[in-house]
Structure 1
């Protein structure tokens, strides 16, 4: 990773206890910035006054906070909206009021998943789930209230700082004779440390405000990724392909979550590398293989 910034800035990261938030704090600090990490227990982003006070005095505001329980959002859409849309609006207003720059993290769920080629940054949003609707609303609020904000969509995140797909697959591969993983959903597994690095580079490049896609390059199905995880874990457990229909989940999953990176290149910012190559680098830390 090649984080870089010419001047030391004051950063505040909301959602700092989360998987991405932890890496955002660590990578920004490693780049030489003064970073304040705020957890959900420290501050409720639905509290406009508290957000205004927390943002004051900072140069860069990174919103890693969010309602990410995709299935629960189907029956708690108002609560998810309060965090993903209203909370995002509070951060945008506070950033604008204090002269800070906002980096807002969004998701592939704003799309319907019906594409057959990578989604462009300006592709029409058409969320199919409550989670997707609340995140799309958050994007709209941020762009309306803080035009200079960087909205960074991501997908298929994994990292060392929280429960994630690779950790689950590695654990189950040690408990069962064989696994069954869906092979009809395609996306870009993305390491949170790489996304955090991309955010630092976007800010450092003084990239124009707007939407960017922060995912690894290339594409794979969950089944294909699971096979790589099992191999990295040193297991030989067979992984069988199955379909999404085999799992009855409340929220529909996008069948195609591949995001294009043209706007990054236009801004002179290199996209994250190929997902398979980055997984090889990430696997020891994410699976705990680097610990004695």
Structure 2
């Protein structure tokens, strides 16, 4: 019941809105996650530069005899937001629990640095990158960390901007979908109204071709051809009815005249026979005409 109420124009409008919405959401998501990924990579590159600088500074020192688990902060002037730099010797027992608890970084991050030579980590706000280096035959780890203001603040602004753009895009897509569906179905509705005006009294009316609409014009031409055939059939039918009426009137008049004359006064048997013969002859003519008319009608119908 509900499907019967919904018109094709409404279905088209809803379908267009769904398509526009899917495209808008797809591209918005692509833009957002591309920028997020770019910001992460770019910030890690900055931190890597800072880590390399830390290593160069520490290697330039004559003596870098740091005790195990000793954390050295603030080796460089702060250049990144809330930057914190660390340099410490790798424990001989490879136990990073104490260091992990002091600077609140998972021990797996340190083990990855030792294993791969370089590793990165983030806890949503702070980003860390660490590298190993050797100095005086000892292994050290240098870590640079900072708060990614771009992710925290600018991406938040980007998210709000994208949401606003999505809402506005959905609003304008709804208006555009309504206008487009109305424009697409306007010629069809116009043709439908014109067809409703055509009846047996005005079969001479024809549908007008629609400009720049080849598919619809093919339908218009087909319908007009059908109207031509129907109009021809109606004219043939009216002409045939007139001919039939004329052809049947003569024998019927003769039959009625002979019967009226025969009944007007008493007549002899021979006169009655003569009258009945005339009536029979006219009836046979009438039967032949009826058969001829039936054959003619059948031939016109087949054409």
- Per the normalisation by structure 2, the TM-score is 0.17
Which is strand-richer, 1 or 2? 1
* Structure number, greater radius of gyration: 2
Of the two structures, which has the highest relative contact order with CA contacts closer than 8 Å and spacing of 6 or more? Answer: 1
Which is helix-richer, 1 or 2? 2
- Per the normalisation by structure 1, the TM-score is 0.18
